[in-house]
Amino acid sequence: MAEAAQTVTARPAPGGAGECPSCGAALVGDYCHRCGEKRPEARDLSLRHFALDAAGELTSLDTKLTRTLLALLFRPGRLTAEWVAGRRGLYLKPLNLCLGVLALNLFVYTASKQVTMFDVRLIVENQRQMAAQWKLPNGDFYERRFAAAATRRGTTVEALYDTVNEHWQRNVSLLQPLQIVTLAVLLQLIYIFSRRYFVEHVVFAMHYLSFAVLTTTLMWPLYYLIGIHPTLKNMAFAFAKFGVDILYLFMALRVFYGGRLGLAVLRALVAFGGYFVGYAVVYMIALFAAMFPVLFR
């Protein structure tokens, strides 16, 4: 029993006293010269040290996350240029950044029903209002389909709305990477004589999508105050956002690809048009895939 107790309490460090716990290299100072790992110490496991270290990571302006976000928001094209040049250790990886921003956006715009981009109720209501305004036939088509589906399934229309919204959110999260591929293919065609690898266009597309989605995420408090319904005020904000996205894309293309000013403007407009079409197609396919099994089966 004494030997067992001694075995439990005597827990050796993950590496020898002079050995790096990550790569096994001999330690000379507090940090490994091969991989940069810090020498493990007993105080690292204290609650106080853990809390201070976590707070320092979150508030330091020198972290990868902060450095990446500042470059993404205020230095168009810089992240892609740095990645292609091989200076990658200072920033988050393009795929990690893009997936993280997409996940944050999805969470923000689904956390509250007051501000959500995935509410089929708005589509049904807008269709009915537009049909009444323009005197179009079948303006209540989806309204009738949902009512019939609710009767057939023995549930309520509101429950079906919630089911469609849930599936719509999931489908968008699965299809959003298609926007990266679509924009990358378009950039490959636009810069067909640039002799760049396709992966370079993919990385640029990831960084641009990260910027566009992150700025949309940052607009959430504004939409929380004014609502997300298609009013004239919201349309004005949407067009202003499009203007910012086009300007950012133009500046990023100039930094990363170079080229003449007039040609860069034309390429930015074409690239943004393709990006917007891809965005709309992804959301429409995701919505149709969510509605079809509910309404037509």
Kindly give, in sequence order, each residue whose CB lies less than 8 Å from that of residue 36, ignoring residues fewer than 6 positions away: none
**For residues 107 and 113, what is the distance between their CA atoms, to the nearest angstrom?**
12
Tell me the backbone φ, ψ of residue 46, rounded to 5 degrees: -80, 150
pLDDT band at residue 37 under the 50/70/90 scheme: confident
pLDDT band at residue 2 under the 50/70/90 scheme: very low
Question: Has residue 15 got a pLDDT over 50?
Answer: no
Instruction: Identify the pLDDT of residue 98.
Output: 95
> 261-278 pLDDT, tens per residue?
889 999 999 999 999 998
pTM for the model:
0.77
**For residues 16 and 189, what is the distance between their CA atoms, to the nearest angstrom?**
55
What residue ranges do the domains of the chain occupy? 9-59, 64-295
Instruction: Identify the pLDDT of residue 222.
Output: 86
Instruction: Identify the pLDDT of residue 22.
Output: 77
Please state which of the ranges 35-49, 120-134, 153-167, 279-293 shows the lowest mean pLDDT: 35-49
Burial of 266 (0-12, 13-18, 19+ CB in 10 A): middle
> 178-192 pLDDT, tens per residue?
999 999 999 999 999
Please name which of 206, 212, 227 lies closest in space to residue 117, comparing C-alpha atoms.
227
> 124-164 pLDDT, tens per residue?
887 777 777 777 777 678 888 898 999 998 999 999 999 99
Question: Has residue 1 got a pLDDT over 60?
Answer: no
CB 256 within 8 A of CB 77: yes
CB 118 within 8 A of CB 228: no
> 51-110 pLDDT, tens per residue?
777 666 655 556 888 899 999 999 999 999 999 999 998 899 999 999 999 999 989 988
pLDDT band at residue 5 under the 50/70/90 scheme: very low
Question: Has residue 237 got a pLDDT over 90?
Answer: no
CB 217 within 8 A of CB 101: yes
**For residues 10 and 126, what is the distance between their CA atoms, to the nearest angstrom?**
69
**For residues 216 and 221, what is the distance between their CA atoms, to the nearest angstrom?**
10
Please state which of the ranges 33-37, 224-228, 287-291 shows the lowest mean pLDDT: 33-37
